[in-house]
Structure 1
């Protein structure tokens, strides 16, 4: 009889874990670029003498929901939205390349483009805007700058957003909520 309690507790523990995942998903429903977590459970045989008649609930490989939300039009020239599949590559505080679909790009006081404090990567590394420039993104992710005097003849392309297309099965979330390749 006392062995049965372990089986019941493993199921209850898994249910609590799934409730935590659901609560986190609901709390972030309005967060730009948020990807919902998906909880998975498996059953494992309990090894021991006699027949394998007992199973314990175990946390399985979790996944990420890749469905997209509704894009909202803003009047900010640095905001971007990815149409279709793909992710924006950013560099986290540890120097690792991580991925997001959050297109709310900010410019810090050194001219670096950031998303949630992570450096936005272009084809040539982190993107840094020249001082006193008006920036805008093209539909292909090309970043163009115009001098602040408005002389459009002086407009030049300085970089292009690093966009990656990784199958969702190969992605996982890190503790900061950013997407990383499942192998690290």
Structure 2
């Protein structure tokens, strides 16, 4: 009975849906995390009668056909790249993006990563890095005797060196934007990399050419909404149960058929 296999695809799809939701909930407190959403597509159809096929010698045609579907599949799990809430941290090297853009991260293997996580630190050489020690592009060094580091809304990094009475510009943060940011590939550690779907990065200065500005002493929180995720979880659970009930019903029908004498 085909209903068994059709319902099993529904259970598998809802299992994947719950996995996506659980990852969202697990990352509710992850800096710069962007929630994902499962999207589904129906599978191939068996056409028992085509719409428009002839129904008589007089030339009449069937206004509708008879199609039997074969279930559902997970089509994609796109990221929802909306702005997350920005919260103060009072840490001078924490930076949040307000608007469009990603920080540029130079990865050890030569690739370029992109992130919304602005939890920056200084390494032993004064280099501005992320929490994993990866260099933040374009490469900014904060001297050991630098005081009162400031980062303007357009990404200019300044500090007072030694006993100087005027600040020295140390560099400027850059942001990247993409034609299709949902096409970025997640590689963990709050990092994305470009793909053929995302297009190449367009590097620019914060607060210019449609890029957002940056806020020193703030971090962008996850855009996960707990109420929405719980509602989606309940809906997925009920859909899973209904598909399981279809399997039970199909099994009972087959059992009744096998007991016919």
**How far 1:128 moved relative to its partner?**
2.9
Residue 138 of structure 1 corresponds to: 152
4+ residue runs of structure 1 moved beyond 6 angstroms? 49-52
**How far 1:130 moved relative to its partner?**
2.7
**How far 1:92 moved relative to its partner?**
2.9
Larger Rg: 2
Give the whole-Å Cα distance in 1 for the aligned partners of 2:108 and 2:15: 32
- Which of 173, 191, 198 pairs up with 1:161? 173
Alpha carbons 2:35, 2:79 under 8 Å: kept: yes
- Which of 58, 61, 68 pairs up with 1:53? 68
CA shift in 2, pair 1:152/1:60, >3 Å: farther
Residue 38 of structure 2 corresponds to: 39
- Segments of 5+ residues of structure 1 without an aligned counterpart are none
- Which of 70, 76, 100 pairs up with 2:115? 100
Residue 119 of structure 1 corresponds to: 135
Residue 78 of structure 2 corresponds to: 63
Give the whole-Å Cα distance in 2 for the aligned partners of 1:164 and 1:140: 13
Give the whole-Å Cα distance in 1 for the aligned partners of 2:137 and 2:164: 27
| Greater displacement, 36-45 / 93-102 | 93-102
| Greater displacement, 55-64 / 8-17 | 55-64
SS at match of 1:72: strand
TM-score, normalisation: structure 2: 0.60
Q: Deviations over 1:46-86 (max 9, x none)?
A: 68x97763333222132111222221122222111112221
CA shift in 2, pair 1:152/1:57, >3 Å: farther
Higher RCO (CA 8 Å, separation ≥ 6 residues): 2
The alignment of Structure 1 onto Structure 2 pairs a total of residues equal to 177
TM-score, normalisation: structure 1: 0.81
User: Which structure has more helix as a fraction of its residues?
Assistant: 2
**How far 1:169 moved relative to its partner?**
4.5
Alpha carbons 2:103, 2:176 under 8 Å: kept: yes
Is 1:85 aligned to residue 100 of structure 2? yes
- Segments of 5+ residues of structure 2 without an aligned counterpart are 50-66, 198-261
Residue 22 of structure 2 corresponds to: 23
Is 1:183 aligned to residue 183 of structure 2? no
Alpha carbons 1:46, 1:54 under 8 Å: kept: yes
**How far 1:91 moved relative to its partner?**
2.2
